[in-house]
Amino acid sequence: MASDMVLYWGSGSPPCWRVQVVLEEKKLQGYKSKLLSFEKGEHKSAEVLALNPRGQLPTFKDGTTVINESLGICLYLENKYKTKGTQLICDDPKEYAAVYQKILESNNIIQRIGDIMQYSRRVPESERTEAGLQRLMEALSEELKFWEGYVQKMGAGSHIAVKNFTMADAVIFPIIAALFRFGVSQDKYPNLAKYYNSVKSRPSIQATWPPHWKENPDAVMDMLKNV
């Protein structure tokens, strides 16, 4: 039952957002939603750490079952509620192969984004260079070109892995949305932009759109403008 579930989440976090999308798609809207502030360090509260020693979001509980990795939560929900709401993993072997392929392959995008974020956090200021950062931006750009090609090959009206909306979209859309929010140019990746702009209006996506993005829809973020 949805009322047994608690999701601790942070606004704008793609791993949190994908779980929220799956909860919407599976018609599990009655879950307890706890929006925490990264700025205030609420993800490191005793309440979260008791469930998730990493102090990361999403943190999720269903009755006495605790599961914290976003992808794990998404697959857990699909498996437990196979016949409820949208079927997010296809039955057909060719189709579920495509869905799992894209889900797991999307870790490459996350890795490249992580490399950029870590550069300013982990590399001492004296060792950072414009060229060093630019190389990481180029690596993300190379990665996004694969996805630009995949979306183009799928054709208009299709989703990221197969024709219908699947788990791959729930997992990947929030990453694409965050990339555009942080300055990746829609002109440079026109097919990804088309995908983004068509999936954006889906009710599960709209219902879970990051609240602080809604408050400030036109915020100009240029951190990734060179990607």
The least CB distance from residue 16 to ligand GSH, in Å, is: 7
CA–CA gap between residue 59 and residue 42 (Å, rounded): 12
Of 69 and 115, CB closest to ligand GSH: 69
DSSP letters for 128-185: --HHHHHHHHHHHHHHHHHHHHHHHHH-TT--SSSSS--HHHHHHHHHHHHHHHTT--
Residues 169 and 145 sit within 8 Å (Cβ to Cβ): no
Nearer to ligand GSH, 48 or 148 (CB): 48
Contacts of 23 (CB under 8 A, 6+ apart): 2, 5, 7, 29, 31, 77
In the bound complex, what is the minimum distance in angstroms from residue 43's beta carbon to ligand GSH?
Answer: 5
CA distance 82 to 190: 34
Residues in contact with ligand GSH, shown as a per-residue x/- string from 32 to 71 under the rule CB under 6 A: -----------x-----------xxxx----------xx-
Q: How far apart are CA 57 and CA 39, in angstroms?
A: 13
Give the residue with the Cβ less far from ligand GSH, 51 or 154: 51
Q: How far is the CB of 72 from ligand GSH (least distance, A)?
A: 8
C-alpha to C-alpha distance for 133 and 210, rounded to whole angstroms? 28
Give the three-class secondary structure for 121: helix
Q: How far is the CB of 63 from ligand GSH (least distance, A)?
A: 20
For position 13 contacting ligand GSH by CB under 6 A, the verdict is yes
| Residue with smaller CB distance to ligand GSH, 56 or 148 | 56
Q: Which is nearer to ligand GSH, 113 or 162 (CB)?
A: 113
Instruction: Report how far Cα 5 is from the mean position of its chain's Cα atoms.
Output: 20
- Of residues 16 and 137, the one with the C-beta less far from ligand GSH: 16
Eight-class DSSP state of 220:
-
Nearest distance in Å: CB 140, ligand GSH: 16
CB of 44 to ligand GSH, least distance (A): 7
Site residues for ligand GSH per CB under 6 A: 10, 13, 15, 43, 55-58, 69-70
